[in-house]
Each structure stands twice: as structure tokens, then as C-alpha cells.
Structure 1
């Protein structure tokens, strides 16, 4: 269904090297340990259109009734999905309600491909099953690209995951740590966030934050500026390939 260009695998069936597994397991353990032992509170919106860091989802939720619209651009080398040979220009919308549910929808057209006017479509949903309380992190369940019309071809970027988030500010600097685990048990052509993923964000100024994450396949670093509901985000995948975007948030 979608070809978003965020997170996920390149569909390489032979990716079974022990060293690769060890790196993913180590990254996940570090992130999960950090959640429970704390590091410096910020709420962010990812380039996928859902609440998260640069691309990965988190267990944070926007205020009840929040609506977001945005757009971005991702370098083709940062598009870690099957058959990624063009830059991608995603645009999206999301809404938070109840207030523990977030729903989003994204179009991901490939730049320079005339037949790909709207691109692949992705429906996304997250539910916060546990709020953050005391020493315990918030926990959320998420699913992306879980609908199909015929065969697995329409689910190119499926994701099914659990993620936890913890905030502390021991030195007075808001920050957050996130760690999650995703699975590829659903039949689909491609998957996102398989195995351990996680990241950290620090807000040295009320309108600015810096971020680093591991999406299950690569490391991304970047930053975000938010002023009066308007945000700009940018970063590098694998410390080389650019991605960025902007969006608008408001409350109903």
C-alpha cells in the first residue's frame, strides 16, 4: 500500500549475518536500559507525520484534539525500503483524540516519476496503552500500512511495534529516551522498524531540540525548531544523506 521511504528494511532476504543481529540487539538493550534509568521532556513530530523523533515512532502523545499537516523530502539513499531509487517527497496529516489515540495518513510520491503523482499511501495508528507515571515509561502500540486491497503488494511498508518513552530533566534540560521493538509477522512486501529501534532527544532551548535515533537499519541525527505551532526538521541518515521537512500543528 505505501511506499513512504521511512525506516524499514531493503527487503534483502539474505540479511542474516550474526554481527548485524548483535548490533540491533545491543542498540535495543541500550535504549531500553536508558528508559528505566533516565536521561534528560520533549514531545516531537516525526517526518512520517506521526509523533516520534526523525523517523521512528515514540510512546508520546500530542494534546487531545491536535491536528498536524506537513511535508518533507528524503534523499533516495536514506529511503531504506525495497526498490528505493528516487528521492521521496512525503506529505501527511494526523490527528490525536480520546486522547490516547493517534491516526495518520501519508502520501509518498517519488520525485521525477510522472506516473507516481500521489505516490504510495500509508494509513497509520498508535494507541498509548500506559501513560508515563513516576519511574515508569509511557508505552504505546502501533501499526502502519495494515490494510491491503489485493495481495501483499499493497502493504509495502508495514510496521507492527511496541515502544516505550521516558522523560526526566535532572539538570533542568528537558530530554527523552525511547526504545521499541517491531516485528514482521504480517505478510507484506516490506516492513518498517523490525527488531530493536530507539533514540534520544534533548531540548537545550524551548523552541529547539537535537535528536539521534536508530531505526532498525541505520543511524540518523538531526534537529527540530518549533515556533507557534510551525516546525522545521532536518537531519542526516548514515551521517551522509539529507532529509527534512516542515509542518503545522493546531488544536481543534
Structure 2
């Protein structure tokens, strides 16, 4: 328990600097979510995002390893919300391996698309519902070697307000086709919290189906989004992205009367 508390305080210290403005949160692949677990939340219509994340080896699929040893890496992504009911993302993850000269380095890449659709918007008596997928078009060989991130999910999100504080409850079912990702196959979920005194700040606790992750995120100067998290309370993963609304729309903070 101490490791989770110390890690949570570390994440807060990492992000609480500069002027904070309103935000919408991103998961590591550019699609709106928590940390590793998807939600039914959506970014504002017209929002485009470009970002980079440091990914701890323990955060990644077990098949991403070099000579049997997992390693840390980075990814970068380009994402957009063309309509309020759909998000799209293109993700590139660096992989370690040998090049044609036998030199070891991050000289390989895994590229994939991600998509999320929200057929049901959140209402007073019901949650928002979304369906999504990472790398949906890739065929999976018998050993699943190259389908590192492929999964399909159904997510629900409901927000509640109490004295200006906002609580989000999120539940998801994910199906990873590759057996080496079986630890994340099934039920996942988490809780998010926005305090009344900083609506642009969010704390996260999530269960991936295998690990408990904690983290925080925020937006600086309207465009710079930061997220810091600890996988299982020990392994740091975090990143940043630049956000801009191509339609000129500004993100508005939900008032308590708008949260059910």
C-alpha cells in the first residue's frame, strides 16, 4: 500500500507545475481513456492531437522483448476526433532488434490504427457507451507475433458530482486476440476524480485485468497535455501531447448541474 501512496504523490508532484487549464485526457495511444483502460469518454469535436509516450517494459505486452528480456521503449501518435461520436488514432511504437549490420537498437516499428465509436451519449439515467479497437485490420498468425496491441472493447462511463467534485466510474470488456495478452482479456475498469478546485486536473485508479495502475494528468497553457502513471504502483509510464481544435472550438469544463 505504501508503494501506491508514494507513487501517487510522485505523479502529483510531476504534474503540478505551471498554469493549469481545462483538458480532456488521453490514454497512451492517443484515444481518450484512462491510462491503459479505455472509457466511453470522447474528446471535443475537431480536436487533433500529436504526442509521445515513454512506455515501461512492464506496461507492454509480454511478447515485446529482446532475447527474452522485456525493455522500455517509446511511441508516438497522431489522433483526431472528426465528429463527436468517433475518434481515430495512428500509433507507432519503437521495437528493439538487430539491423542488417547486426547492430542492436530501436530500429523496428510497430504501426497500427485505433478507432473508438460512441453510439450512446451519457444521460441523466444511463452511462455513455462506446465500442473500439486497436489494430483491428491486422490478421493474427498462429503465434500472434505481430499483433502486439490488437484488441476490441466495449466501454461504459458514468459521471457523478458531489459538492463540485466530479467522479467518473468506468467499466470495459476487452478481447485481446493474441494469447500472450490473455492477462488483459476480460473485465477492466477504474475510477477518475476531478477536484472542485482544479477541474482541469484528474486522478486515476484503474484495474487492467492484471494490474492496478495509478496516475494523474492535466493540461498546461490550453494545448500541452501531460500524463504520469505507475503500473502496479512501481513502473513509471508517462508522456505528453500537443492538442489543438481544428474547428476553433474550446473545451468547456462541465458544470455540476451537467454531471448526473
Q: What is the TM-score normalised by the length of structure 1?
A: 0.76
In angstroms, what is the RMSD of aligned CA positions?
A: 2.4
**2:78–2:90 CA contact under 8 A, matched in 1:** yes
Gaps of 5+ in 2: 1-22, 99-103, 247-260
Q: Secondary structure at the match of 1:177?
A: strand
Structure (1 or 2) with the larger CA radius of gyration? 2
- Measure how far apart 1:71 and its partner are: 0.5
Q: 1:251 aligns with which of 245, 251, 257?
A: 245
**How many angstroms apart in 2 are the aligned matches of 1:123 and 1:81?**
20
Is 2:225 aligned against 1:231? yes
- The 1:79–1:45 alpha-carbon spacing in structure 2 relative to 1, beyond 3 Å, is same
Is 2:116 aligned against 1:126? yes
**Equivalent residue number for residue 142 of structure 1:** 132
- Measure how far apart 1:108 and its partner are: 1.0
Residue deviations 1:34-62 (CA, integer Å, cap 9, x gap): xxxxxxxx842112211001121110111
- Measure how far apart 1:188 and its partner are: 7.3
**Equivalent residue number for residue 27 of structure 1:** none
**Equivalent residue number for residue 78 of structure 2:** 93
**Equivalent residue number for residue 60 of structure 1:** 41
Q: Secondary structure at the match of 1:239?
A: coil
**Equivalent residue number for residue 148 of structure 2:** 156
**Equivalent residue number for residue 162 of structure 2:** 170
- Tell me which stretches of 4 or more aligned residues in structure 1 moved more than 6 Å: none
Whose strand proportion is higher, 1 or 2?
2
- The 1:164–1:150 alpha-carbon spacing in structure 2 relative to 1, beyond 3 Å, is closer
**How many angstroms apart in 1 are the aligned matches of 2:61 and 2:139?**
24
**How many angstroms apart in 1 are the aligned matches of 2:235 and 2:158?**
29
